[in-house]
Structure 1
Amino acid sequence: MRRDPDFQRYAAARVASLIGSAITYIAMPVLIYQMTGSNLWTAFAVVAETLPYVCLGLFAGALADRVDRRRVMITSDVVSGVLLASVPVAYFLGGLTAPHALAVGFVSQASFVFFDAANFGALPTLAGVSRIAAAQSFVFGASTAVELVVPGLVGAALAVVAPGPLLALDAISFLASALLIRAIARPLWDASRASAAPRRLGADIRDGLRFLWGHPIVRINVLVGMTQSFSGGAFVGQLVPWADQVLGVPPGDRRLGLMFTAWAVGSLGASALYPRLSRWRGEAWVTLLALPLSALGAMACALARDWWVAVAFVAAWGVVYVTVIINSITLRQRITPEHLQSRVNTTGRMLAYGVGSVSGALTAGVVSEAAGPRTALALAAGVTAAGAVAAWLSPLRRHGLEASARL
C-alpha cells in the first residue's frame, strides 16, 4: 500500500480530515459542557454526531452506489468545512450558543454521512478485495498515529484557548481532504453503472437491506456491533462529566487530553494487531473473542476512581474496541458484492454506529443526570456483555469454526 500513490493520497485525505475531527471530538463536548454545565446536554454532542446516520444512512448508501463517489466525497468535505467555520465566526462575534454548536455538529455530520457512504465503496475499489484488510489497518494505523499526538495538544491548548476557535482547524482539514481526494487518478467507482437502466432509489435501498438482513453473518455482525457502539456512545458522551465529577479532571485540564490520547494508544495497538489476528483465526473468531473483552474494558473504566488508573483502562479498552470495529468493517466489505458496497456498509454503520451510539449516549445522559456517570458507564458495559453472549449463540460461531478449518 505504501507504494501506491493513489492510495497514499487517499490515506493522506483521511488523516487530514481526522486531524480536524480529533480536535472537534474533544473540543465540542468541552464547549457544550462549559456553556451548559449539563451531563445530558454534553451527551447531545454525541447524539448530534451520530443521529445523521440513523436519518440518512439508507439514502446515502444507495446514492453512493449509483453516482461518482469522488464527487460525493469532495462535495461533502467542502460543505462540512464551511459549516464548521461558522462556529469560530459566531464565537468571535459574541453570538455562539449551545443550540448553534449542536446544529452545526448535526448538519456537518449529515454531510459526512454521504462522504462515508462513498468511502465504503471507494476503498475496496481503490485497494482491491485482496488488500482490504491491509488497507483498513494502514488507514486506521495512520489515523491513530495522528490521534496519539492531537488529543494531548488539544488538551494543552484548551488550558489557554477557548474550545470554539479550535473548530476552525477542523474546517481547514475538510478542505485539505477535498483537494487530496480530487488528486486521486484512478476511478473510485464502476462508471459503467452510470449507463445502466435507471432504477428507483427505493429499489436500491431495498436491495441493500435485503442483502444485509438475509446474510446471517452480516446480520449478526451488525446487531452485536450495535451493543458495542452503545457503550462507545455512552463513554464519549459522558467522558467530560466522568472526568470532572469522578476523576477530578475538569475541562481545560491537560490530563483530559491524555484520556483521549490513551484511547488512541489502544487504537494504534489494534491497528498493529488486527492483520495478525484475522490471519490467525479469521474475522468471525476476532469478533467472538474481542467483544467480551470490550465489555470488560468498559466495566473497568466505569469502576476506576483514579485518573491514572482510568487512563490505563481506557488504553486497554481501546485495543479491543477498535479491533472489533476494524474487523466488522473488513468482514462486511469482504462478503458484500462490489455493486452493493456503499449501501450495505452504510446501512450496517447506520445501525451499529448510528442507532447504537445514539441510544447509548441518550441513555447514559439520562442515567448520569440521575445517578452519576459511573452508573451510566456500568449500564453501558452490561449492554455490550449481552451482545457478546448473543454473538456466541449465533451462526457466527459456526462460521468461525468453518473458517478455522480452512486456515
Structure 2
Amino acid sequence: MSSPHPNAREQADFRRLWAGSVVSQLGSAVGMVALPIVAVIVIGASAFQVALLAALTAITTALLAFPMGRHVEFRRKRPVMIVTDLVRFAALAGVPVAAVLGALTFTHLCVVAVVNATCLIAFTAASQAHLKALVSAERLIEANSRLESTRWLTITVGPSAAGALIGLLSAVGALLVDAVSFLFSALAIRTLRTPEPDPPVRDAGASRRAELFAGWRFASGHPTLRRILISWVTFVGGNALASSVSAVFYLRDLHFETWQYGLLMGVPSLGGFIGARLAPRLVARLGAVSALWGASMLRGPWYFLIPAAAPGTAGLLMCGIGFGMVLLFAGAANSTMVSYRQLETPDELMARVATLWSFATTATQPLFILLGGLVATWADARTALFAAAGLMCVAALLLPRRGGVTGRWR
C-alpha cells in the first residue's frame, strides 16, 4: 500500500498534536487551580507559602530559559516533548500518592512546581521548533491559529472544569487528572508519522556563552523581530500592571459580586478564541506584519472602557465588552506574531528564540505588577488601570507597519 499523500499525512499529524495539546492544556488549567488548594487544605500552607509556590514558576523560567533553550536546540524535538510530558506526569501523580501516605509536604509541592516549570520551558521550546518542521509554511498561520484558540478556550472553561473536578474528586484527585493529561499528550506525540528532521549541528568553535545568547543576538539584530519583542514585552507589562489591581477595582470600587468577578475572568476569553481563529484571514488579506500592526492598534483602546466603568449593570457590561475586545485582538495578534517569528527564525535558532520570548515575558512581569501596586497606592486602582490601558496602546505604536519576508507574509 502506498503511503498517504504528504499533505494528508501532515494534516493528520497536526490533528494528533492538536488533540494532545487540548487535553494537556485543560489538565494544566485544572492543576493550576488544584495545586494551591492542595497546599492550603491538605498541608495548611500559609499565605506566604502559597505566594512562594506561585512565584517559583516565574523564578524557574527566568533562571533556566536560556540554558534550556540551548539544551533543546541541538536535540530531536519529539523525544524532548515526550520526556517532559512523562516527567510532568510522574511529578503530579506523586502528589496524590504522597497525600494518601500522609507524607505530602510543602517542600514536595515546591519541587513539583519547579519540575513543572522546567518541563514547560523545554516543551514549549521543542514544540514551537517542531511545528515549523511538521507543517508547511503555507499552513503555519492556520496551525498557530488553532493552537492559540485552544489556549484561550482552556482559559475560559478550565477554571470551571477544575472547580467541578475538585468538587467531585477533591483537589488531590484533580491533580491526578492533570497528570493523566500529560500521558495523553505524550501518546499523541508518539503517534506522529511524519519523519522528524535531524536537529541542528552544534558549531564546534562556538563558546557556551555564544550558544546561550544566540537567540537574543538574532532577535535583537533583526529589525522587525526586535521591535515585535519590545512591543510584546510592553503589552504584557500593561496586562501585568492591570492584573495586580483589577480585582480590587472590580470588587471594591465597582462593588461587583464574586460571581460577577468570576464571569469577567472567564467569559471574555472567548474573544481570544475568536481572534485567534480570525488570524489566518487577516494575514491572507494584509500580510503578517500589517495584520499584527492592525490587530495591535485595535487591541489597547478597548481597555479604557474598564477604568471608565461605574458600578452597576452598565459598568459590568462595559468591563466585559472592553476585556473581551482586548482579548479578541490579542488572540489575532498572538497567532500572527508566533507564526511570523517561526518563519523568520532559522531552524538552528528556533528553540532559543522561543525561550527568549518566555524569558522576556517572565522576567519583566513582576516589575509591572509592582508598578501597578505602587500607582494604585499613590493614586487609586482606577488610575492604575488607565495607565495600563495607555501602556497597551503604546505597545502597538512600537510595531513596524510593514516589513518581513516576501509574499503574503509581508
Provide the TM-score with structure 2 as the length reference. Answer: 0.80
The residue matched to 1:186 in structure 2 has which SS?
coil
Match runs of 1:1-400 below 5 Å: 4-27=11-34, 47-85=55-93, 104-155=112-163, 166-191=174-199, 193=200, 200-236=207-243, 244-246=251-253, 255=260, 257-304=262-309, 305=311, 306-351=315-360, 353-364=361-372, 374-391=382-399, 396-399=400-403
Do the aligned partners of residues 311 and 161 (structure 1) sit closer, same or farther apart at CA in structure 2, a change above 3 Å counting?
farther
Distance 2:276 2:126 in 1: 23
Q: Structure 2: which 5+ residue stretches go unaligned?
A: 1-6
| Partner Cα distance (1:53, 1:263) in 2 | 27
Structure 1 stretch displaced more, 317-326 or 303-312: 303-312
Q: CA deviation at 1:124?
A: 0.4
Q: Is the 8 A contact 2:268 2:327 kept in 1?
A: yes
Give 1:138 deviation, angstroms: 2.0
What CA distance in whole angstroms lies between the structure 1 residues aligned with 2:378 and 2:169?
A: 32
Q: Please, which moves more after superposition, 102-111 or 364-373? A: 364-373
Distance 1:155 1:403 in 2: 47
Runs (5+) with no aligned partner, structure 1: none
With over 3 angstroms needed to count, the CA separation of the structure-2 counterparts of 1:405 and 1:30, relative to structure 1, is same
Task: Indicate conservation of the 8 Å contact 1:30/1:240, yes or no.
Answer: no
Question: Which TM-score applies when normalising by structure 1?
Answer: 0.80
Q: How many residues matched?
A: 397
Q: Identity rate of aligned residues, in percent?
A: 26
Query: 1:137 touches 1:274 (CA, 8 Å); kept in 2?
Result: yes
Give, in angstroms, the shift of residue 289 of structure 1.
Answer: 2.5
Q: Displacement, 1:268?
A: 1.3
Paired residue secondary structure (1:80): helix
Equivalent residues of 1:248, 1:307 under 8 A apart: no
Q: What is the aligned partner in structure 1 of residue 4 from structure 2?
A: none
> Deviations along 1:203-235, whole A, 9 cap, x unmatched?
323432221111110111001100111133345
What is the CA distance between 1:21 and its match in structure 2? 1.9
In 2 relative to 1, CA 244–318 (structure 1 residues): closer, same or farther, beyond 3 Å?
Answer: same
> Any conservation in 1 of the 2:268–2:321 contact (CA below 8 Å)?
no
Paired residue secondary structure (2:398): helix
User: 1:320/1:45 Cα in 2 relative to 1: closer, same or farther (>3 Å)?
Assistant: farther
Equivalent position amino acid for 2:401 in 1? R
